[in-house]
Chain A
Amino acid sequence: MAPVQAQVPPTGQESGIVAEKVRDGIELEVNGERFRHTGDPQMPLLWYLRDVLRLTGTKYGGDAGESGADLVLVGAKAVSAITQPLARLAGKAVITVEGLAADDGSLHPLQQAFIDEDAIGCGYCTPGWLIAGVDLLKRKPHPSDDDIDQLPNLCRCGCQSRVRRAIKRAAAGKAGQP
C-alpha cells in the first residue's frame, strides 16, 4: 500500500519525524539473494527468473507447467514457476536449481546422485526432476516406489528408471559413493 499523503503539513514535535516512503515493487528472495521487482506484478516467476535475473536453469515446459520442467521451491514446496505471478511471491523465498548446491559449490546429495546414476538424457527436464526430488526427500526421507511414482515430471528421453535409482541412492546416503 502506498502511504496516504497527509493533507496538512505536520507541525510541532512531529515535524522531525518523516514516515519512510514504502518503496514500490515486490520484494522476494531468490537463492538467498533479495530482489525487488518493479514491473508488471502479474509477470510469472518463470519469466522473471529467465528474462530478468537470467537464471535459465528453470525451463519452460508448457503454459500450465504440465511437464514439470519449471518447478522451483517456494517456501519448501515445489511449485510450477509459470503458474506463480510475482504478486503472489512478495516476501517469499524461492530456490531454483541454481540454488540447490551449497555456496562452496558442493552439490546437494540428489544432484550428486543424478551424476552417479547418469540420470540424464538431453538434460532439459533435469532441473525440474531435481526440484521435485528434493521436495520429495524433504517430505519423505526414505520414499517408497509409490512415493516416487507421484512425481509430476515428464521426460521424453526416458530417464525415469535412472531418476528412480538416483532418488533411492540419495535417500540411502550413498550419493558420491561407488
Chain B
Amino acid sequence: MSGYGIRLSRRRFLQVLAGGAGALVVGIRVADATDAPLPPALLGDNLYDLGAYVRIDASGSVLIGARDPDTGTGVATALPRIIADELDADWNRVGVVPLGLGVENDNGKPRWSYGRQLGGVGGSIPAAWNDLRQVGAVARWLLLQAAARRLGVPANRLRCEAGTVIAPDGRRFGYGSLAADASKIALPDRMPPLKNAADYKLIGQGAGDVDARAIVTGQARYAIDHHYGDALVAVPTHCPWPDGTLARIDTTDTLAVPGVLKVIQLKPEPGQPLGSTVLAPAVVVLAENSWAALQGRAKLKLEWKPGASAGESSAALEQQAVALLAGDTPPTSRVRNDGDVEAAGRKAARRLDATYVQPWLAHATAEPMNCLVRLDKDRASLVVPTQAPQQAWAVVQRLTGLAPDRIDIRVPRVGGGYGRRLDHDFVAEAVLLAKAVNKPVRLLWTRDEDFTHDCYRAGSVHRISATVDRKRQLLSWHQRMASASALNGRGVPADRLWSSELQAGQLPAALVPNYRSDWYALDSAMPRGPMRGMPHLSNAFAVESFIDELAHQMREDPLKTRLRILGEPGQLALGNDGALDTGRLVNVLKLVADRIEWKNWLRSVNGLGIACWHVDGAYVAHAVEAAMQGETLVIQRVVCAVDVGRVINPLGLQGQVAGATLDALSIALNAAITVKDGQVQQHSYRDYPLAGMAQLPNDVEVITVADERAPAGASFLAMPTAAPALANAVFRASAVRVRRLPLMKELLRLL
C-alpha cells in the first residue's frame, strides 16, 4: 500500500481519481515514489485527461476506456468487457471510448499513463488480463463499501449484478446512486479478490463490435476522416528508389492548378532508424482540398535519379538465396542446434530435401497512410492511424522538441494495421510538412504510394532436409532459411537479425533429437518491416508442407505422421519462445480432422489437407477441402480450430479466426510484390490482387477450445496454417506439389 493506490507492480498503481458531478473514476497511474498525489482540483470530468479506465456517473451510465488501438482486432470490445465483467456492469449501459495516447511529463521524459498501448500484435488481451481486471474489481469493491455504509450491513452480505448492488433483504441500489459516495472511500490495503471464473457474466459470452452501429451508418471516423478547419491536404510522390535523388523538378503546371498552394520536398533524415523518418525522397503537393492536391500531383514533372539499389531485383535475390542454401557457406546465424544432425543423418533409412520459395509482400491496409497534424507554439495535436501511439509520440517529440505532455495523439479506429502502422514514416512526413508551411496538414497517401513505399515482408527461400529411421521416426531436421531481415536499419545487432525471420522454438523444434536451424542474411535496399504473422507465416508454410511431403514419401496418412512427431501429450520447454504443450496441439489437430471427416482422406475425390502450428502459447490447426475444376481451384471447405486459453469474446474470436484464415488464403493464392531495376512493380490492387468473394471459400468453420488458462493473443494465430493446409489439399486434388507462392500462379504453371 502506498499513499496513492494499490500497487500493481513496482511503478504502477490503481487509483481512485475524483471525478466531478458525483462520478466515480478508477484508473491505473504509473507513479514514482516521489510523486505527489494528483490534486483533485486538476481533475476534470473528461476521461481523456485522466489516467482513467472506468467512470460511473450518477445516472448509472458507465464509460470504459479502451487503451489499445483497434485495427480490426476487436480489442475495443474485448478489453472493456474484461473490466465490465469484474465490475459487474450492465453491458447495455456501458459506453466505450478510445483512450488515445496517455502521456505525462516526468522531468522531460514521457510517462505512459495507461501502461502498454499497442495494437495488432497479439498482446492486447494477455496484457489486459494482467491489469485491467483489477480496475473493475476495485471499482466494484468501492461501490460495495458505499452500499454497506448506507445500509449498515457488512459488504460481504451484499452482492452485485448488472450494475446494481443487492442487499440481503432484496433492496437494490444502482451503481449511479452509489458513485458519489464510493469516490470518497479510501482504497483497500490489499487488492480485492478477483472473481471466480464461475461468476463471469460477460467473459466467455459473445458480443458484437462496439463500433458496429457507427460503422454501418458511415458515422465511424477514421484518422483519414478527420479535419481541422484550415488544414492543407498534402499528397506526396516518393522517389521510386529508396536511395535515389531528385534530379529535376518542374512545378509550373502543378502550381497553376486552382487550390494548389505549395510544393515541398522531403528527404529521409540521415541517421534515423527506418520507420522513424521519411522512407524515400518525396515531392509533396499541398492544396486546399484533396482534388486540387491530386491534380497538382498528377501534373508534377519530376526526374528521379536512381541510387546504388537501381540494379536490385527480387528474382536475382531469390537466385542468390537458392545458391546460398545449396552450397557449403556457413550461415549468418545458427539459430538452434540440438544433438548432431550430421551424425544422425548417417543412420537414416530415408532422406528428404525440399526448397520452398515465398514472395515479398505488401501490407495493403484498407486505409492508406495518412496523418492529421496541427502544430501550435507549445502544443502538437495529431490524429494518427497507428498501432503504436507511443512510437508515434517519439517521432513527433523528436521533430518538435515539445515537452512530453504537450503532444496530444488521438487514435480513432484504424483501417487495418498488419504491422505497417508500427512504423511512423508518414507521421514524420506530416510533422515536417506542418513545420514547413506553418499550418495544419492533412497528409494523404494515394494507393500507388502505399504499394510502392511500404516496409515490405521480404521474400524468403527455405530449404529443409530431414531423415527418418526404419520405424518412420524423425532422426534429424535441418532447416535453412535465407531472407533479408526486417530488422536491418533499426538498431538491432547483427547477431539478432534472424529473430524477425524465424523462431528457435518453432515446429518441429524440441520434437526431433537432432534439430538445427540456420539463417542466411540477404542484402536488400528495399525497406522492410514487421508484418502480421511474421515470422510464422513463411516458416509454417515451409515446415507444414514439408511434413506432408515426408508423409507422402513414407506412404503414410499425413495426419498420422504429424501425430507421431508430436508424440505423447506433454510440456516441452522452448527457452525464449515459452513452452509447447503437445497435448493441446494434438487436440486442435484432431478437432479439425474430425470435423472435415479426415477418415475419407485417401478415398476422397476432393483433396484434403491439414496443418498445425503454435504461436506464443496458442495453438491452431487448419483442414482444407479443395477440388480442381479445370484450371479453377475451388476451396470447398475450411475448418480451423484454435486454443487460446480462456476466450474473452467468442464472437470476436471467431471473427478474428475466420478473417485471418481468409486473409492468409487470399495472400497465398495471389499476392506477390516483385522488384525490378530497384523498383516495386505493383501499384494497385489490380496488380496485387487480394482474393475476391468468388475465389474464397463461402464459409470458415471455426472451432474454439474451451480452456481455463490465461488468454493468449489471437490476432494472427489463424494465419500460418491456412496456406500449407491449402497447398496440401491441392496436392491431393491435383498431384501438384506447390513449393512456391503465390499458389495460383505456380499451380497453373505446373498443371
Contact = CB atoms under 8 A, between A and B. Distances in A.
B496 interface: no
Interface in B630-685: 651-652, 655, 658-663, 666, 684-685
Nearest to A48: B291
Given A54-B227, A111-B216, A122 B72 contact: yes
B197 interface: no
A123 interface: yes
Given A130-B216, A160-B693, A63 B447 contact: yes
Nearest to B120: A122
B415 interface: yes
B271 to A, nearest CB: 34
Contact of A118 (B208, B413, B663, B700): B208
Contacts of B227: 54
A96 B208 CA distance: 24
Contact of B289 (A47, A61, A69, A158): A47
A118 B219 CA distance: 17
A107 interface: yes
Given A123-B215, A126-B215, A160-B693, A66 B686 contact: yes
A115 B213 contact: yes
B366 A101 contact: no
Contact of A96 (B215, B218, B699, B700): B218
Given A63-B447, A157-B72, A124 B222 contact: yes
A47 B293 CA distance: 11
Given A67-B366, A98-B217, A149 B72 contact: no
Nearest to A165: B699
Contact of A56 (B218, B446, B685, B690): B218
Interface residues of B, number: 61
B211 interface: yes
B686 A158 contact: no
A121 B211 contact: no
Nearest to A151: B693
Given A156-B366, A161-B662, A66 B217 contact: no
Given A122-B416, A123-B215, A63 B696 contact: no
Given A57-B219, A114-B212, A158-B661, A121 B655 contact: yes
A91 B222 CA distance: 31
Most buried by B among A54, A59, A69, A152: A59
A159 interface: yes
A150 B693 CA distance: 7
A103 interface: no
B608 interface: no
A43 interface: yes
Contacts of B212: 114-115, 118, 120
B655 A118 contact: yes
Contacts of B699: 161, 164-165
Interface string A62-84: 11101101000000000000000
A115 B208 contact: yes
Contact of B686 (A47, A59, A64, A151): A64
Most buried by B among A51, A124, A127, A163: A124
B217 A156 contact: no
Nearest to B655: A118
A143 B311 CA distance: 51
B447 A62 contact: yes
Secondary structure at chain B's binding surface: helix, strand, loop or mixed? loop
Contacts of A25: none
B303 to A, nearest CB: 22
A156 B690 contact: yes
B697 A64 contact: no
Contact of A157 (B220, B663, B697): B663
B414 A122 contact: yes
B5 interface: no
A19 B610 CA distance: 77
Contact of A66 (B218, B655, B684): B684
Contacts of A47: 289-291, 294
B289 A51 contact: yes
A123 B291 contact: no
A165 to B, nearest CB: 8
B364 interface: yes
A28 interface: no
A138 interface: no
A115 B216 contact: yes
A88 interface: no
Interface in B199-237: 208-209, 211-213, 215-222, 224-225, 227, 233
A156 to B, nearest CB: 6
B218 A43 contact: no
B616 interface: no
B415 A124 contact: yes
A122 B698 contact: no
A124 B366 contact: yes
Given A98-B219, A154-B692, A64 B662 contact: no
Contacts of A161: 658, 662, 696-700
Contacts of B583: none
Interface in B429-476: 444, 446-448
Nearest to A128: B366
Contact of A122 (B225, B294, B367, B690): B367
Contact of B209 (A97, A120, A130, A156): A120
B217 A100 contact: yes
Given A60-B224, A123-B415, A67 B291 contact: no
B70 to A, nearest CB: 8
A55 B220 CA distance: 11
Given A66-B684, A158-B663, A123 B224 contact: no
Interface in A13-71: 40, 43-44, 47-48, 50-52, 54-64, 66-67, 69
B365 interface: yes
B38 interface: no
Contacts of A111: 216-217
A40 B658 contact: no
Most buried by B among A48, A62, A163: A62
A90 interface: no
Interface in A120-178: 120-127, 130, 145, 148-165
B446 to A, nearest CB: 6
B685 A67 contact: yes
B693 A123 contact: no
A40 B72 CA distance: 36
Contact of A156 (B364, B684, B696): B364
Given A56-B225, A60-B224, A43 B217 contact: no
Contact of B218 (A55, A121, A153): A55
Contacts of B289: 47, 51-52
Nearest to B418: A156
A44 B216 CA distance: 23
Contact of B291 (A44, A62, A96, A130): A44
Contacts of A50: 225, 290
Given A160-B693, A161-B700, A124 B416 contact: yes
Given A118-B209, A126-B216, 12 more contacts: A40-B291, A47-B289, A57-B218, A61-B366, A66-B686, A98-B219, A121-B655, A124-B415, A127-B215, A156-B418, A158-B666, A165-B699
Interface of B: 70-72, 208-209, 211-213, 215-222, 224-225, 227, 233, 258, 289-291, 294, 364-368, 413-416, 418, 444, 446-448, 651-652, 655, 658-663, 666, 684-686, 690, 692-694, 696-700
Closest 6 interchain pairs by CB?
Answer: A57-B218, A122-B72, A158-B662, A124-B415, A158-B659, A56-B225
Interface of A: 40, 43-44, 47-48, 50-52, 54-64, 66-67, 69, 96-98, 100-101, 107, 111, 114-116, 118, 120-127, 130, 145, 148-165
7 contacts: A64-B686, A66-B685, A121-B72, A122-B70, A159-B655, A160-B696, A162-B658
